[in-house]
Structure 1
Amino acid sequence: MNEERMQATEQLQRELKSLTATVEHPNGLCTVTASPRGEIKALHLHPALLGQGPRAVGDVVTETVRLATNAAVQTSFNRMALALGDGMAIDVESIAGDSPFRSTWNPVVPPKSAAPEAPPERRPRRPVVEDPDEDAFFENPFGRR
């Protein structure tokens, strides 16, 4: 059993060294292949992106590298859980922090709109039930009468 675990650990280390993830930016203008350590292995820019100016290129490339790195880190967490078990993966997450896809539902942050948001509508309060009937209790289980 211990020998199998050692072999699984060695295999995992080999896999993690060569692991990469390829991600296309949501706008489709940039594709990046990156390692879990943030090393950029490949970068492809669509010609239309270059016409948007240097700041736009920098923002899209930076965000796509972050997405690719997060995807590679998530893949490494998944491989680690398969090789070493969920218990060990949970222990590593408690030390290293949550995996990227656990900590963010949608890693791409949409741009903020210029229009101010409307305040949320307040729901009218429910009328107070004066009925001592048991059904009234179940309509308001917290006893606010």
Structure 2
Amino acid sequence: MAAVNEERMQATEQLQRDLAVTTETIEHPNGLCMVTASAKGEFKALHLHPALLQQGARAVGEVVTETVRLATNAAVQTSFNKMALALGDGMAIDVESIVGDSPFRTTWNPVVPGKSAAPEATPERRPRTPFVDDPDEDAFFENPFGRR
């Protein structure tokens, strides 16, 4: 029993060391900025393409901020993944219930959407076809508690 507790303590300490140094490097979708950040949001490295600097201070600020957010989210997600591997999925789910969903579970979309030349066309809606050709099917699902 003592050996099992000792192994758990060592695994927990190793996980804490791993999480403390976890970083991710992300390139902005426009390719003009690359950031390495920790799960705490600390900058480790920042690379700006010269073309970004020509777009003005506001554009630089928005792209850098967004790229830091993406890199931080990626580092947090990596931390969640490491935690799930070390402690098991059940414990990772418990942690998510306390701190909130992991970043990739909620979204991985940049704040600033890419600009396209043509507006997106809305897809045509096709009429829904029932799986079973049964006239009572809709009546059954309308009131799941039934009438008594």
Q: Return the TM-score normalized by structure 2.
A: 0.78
Match of 2:13 in 1: 10
Distance in 2 separating the partners of 1:17 and 1:42: 17
SS at match of 2:132: helix
Alpha-carbon displacement from aligned partner over 1:31-63 (angstroms, at most 9, x marks no partner): 000000101111010000000111110110000
Amino-acid identity (%): 78
- Counterpart residue type for residue 85 of structure 1: G
SS at match of 1:63: helix
| Structure-2 change in CA distance of 1:8 and 1:65 (3 Å) | same
Match of 2:88 in 1: 85
Cα RMSD for the two superposed structures: 2.6
- Counterpart residue type for residue 108 of structure 1: P
Alpha-carbon displacement from aligned partner over 1:12-47 (angstroms, at most 9, x marks no partner): 111111111110101110000000010111101000
Gaps of 5+ in 2: 140-148
Distance in 1 separating the partners of 2:95 and 2:19: 15
Counterpart check, 1:99 vs 2:99: no
How many aligned residue pairs are there?
Answer: 133
Alpha-carbon displacement from aligned partner over 1:114-134 (angstroms, at most 9, x marks no partner): 9887777565688xxxxxxxx
Counterpart check, 1:139 vs 2:133: yes
Distance in 2 separating the partners of 1:97 and 1:46: 34
Distance in 1 separating the partners of 2:89 and 2:120: 42
| Structure-2 change in CA distance of 1:50 and 1:11 (3 Å) | same
Aligned with 2:29 (options 16, 26, 29): 26
Match of 1:129 in 2: none
| Structure-2 change in CA distance of 1:143 and 1:42 (3 Å) | closer
SS at match of 1:102: helix
Q: Return the TM-score normalized by structure 1.
A: 0.79
Distance in 2 separating the partners of 1:93 and 1:63: 23
Distance in 2 separating the partners of 1:27 and 1:112: 10
Aligned with 2:69 (options 41, 66, 81): 66
The higher radius of gyration belongs to 1
